[in-house]
Copies of this chain bind each other. A is one copy, B any other.
Amino acid sequence: MENKASPAERGYHMPAEWENHSQCWMGWPERPDNWREDAVHGQCVFAKVASAISKFESVTVCARASQWANARDQLPQNIRVLEMSMNDAWFRDIGPTFVVCDRPLENKTQIVAGIDWNFNSWGGAIEGCYADWDLDSLVARKILEVERLIRFPHSMVLEGGSIHVDGEGTCITTEECLLNPNRNPDLTREDIEHQLKLYLGIKKIIWLPWGLYGDDDTNGHVDNMCCFVKPGVVMLAWTDDEHDPQYERSVEDYSILSKATDAQGRMLQIIKLCIPRPLFMTEEEAAGLKALDGKQRISGTRLATSYINFYIANKGIVAPAFGDEERDKEAFCVLSEAFPDREVVMIPGAREIALAGGNIHCITQQHPAGLV
């Protein structure tokens, strides 16, 4: 089911992640050039994340046909496992951006629909993460088809991890990603703003200069750097270590945020969330990867690890733990204080997802319930 008018024109907008979900969508990792040792560790941590989320809301995990039985075996029975082809498993970026309708009765339309953005493997044939993304490009459409939801296709390249919204008209994103010429070289900043307004139903975009240091795969997705906690409150990846290259990035973003107002004219409260101390890919980890058409990963590379990359579930927060006990504990406390009505669950071993270029928010996609 396709529709030509833009979502905003039809009364749709993207809700905030903390609004009620009907379920969470995830993929299933497999490619051995990105998930070491034939993805055995990656699959284990995906199963942990899915299980944790399934305590709060329904979960659907999609796996390639050849992986269905394996995924089904590793996941609890209350999780739905569907066959779906994909090139990798980043459903935040290849899944649909779900939107909800404010006036379904007036338009005689569905309450929930999905935007199917264009996808180019985070940068296209040369700068992207792998050379063939044909299957990824169909994932959003297939998800919407499973649920028989209206699909709004868009020719603009955009990944879900590059935007965050407060559900009250404000979007935050990064210049590093959205203005990167490897995404939409023919679109100006104004063009992109216009399209985001038409599709996300937002009124104002706050542009941060930078994503996280080392997040080269995504060119600085905002979802590893900064997110909304509630309207008027953001959380920012932080470090007090002036020698860490992350420091300047956090300071610059903080500076922009501290002067910004949101779509409702509010100044923003900024919560700092310290990243773990620098983590690097080990030789053993790099040796577990097989060469295919994907980006080569080298031992000694700084991992783009940030606690900001968490998922907001119904009544829960599912966040990465990196084995830096002090910082993991600190993140747990900051998140628990910021979300007093939700149970914070930290997932040990989330380093495994960082080795492949992302984290918990990157591998999940909330499907809003769309009910007030």
Contact = CB atoms under 8 A, between A and B. Distances in A.
Interface of A: 1-2, 58, 64-65, 68-69, 77-78, 80-85, 138, 142, 145-146, 148
Contacts of A65: 64-65, 83, 85
Given A65-B64, A68-B85, A80 B142 contact: no
A145 B84 contact: no
A164 to B, nearest CB: 30
Nearest to A85: B65
* Across the A-B interface, the 3 shortest Cβ-Cβ residue pairs: A83-B83, A65-B85, A65-B65
A64 to B, nearest CB: 7
A83 B84 contact: yes
A317 B365 CA distance: 41
Nearest to A2: B77
A60 to B, nearest CB: 9
A58 B78 CA distance: 26
Contact of A146 (B77, B82, B85): B82
Nearest to A64: B65
A69 B141 CA distance: 11
A112 B138 CA distance: 31
A83 B82 CA distance: 8
B82 A145 contact: yes
Contacts of A82: 82-83, 142, 145-146
Contacts of A84: 83
B80 A145 contact: yes
Nearest to A134: B69
A72 to B, nearest CB: 8
A50 to B, nearest CB: 14
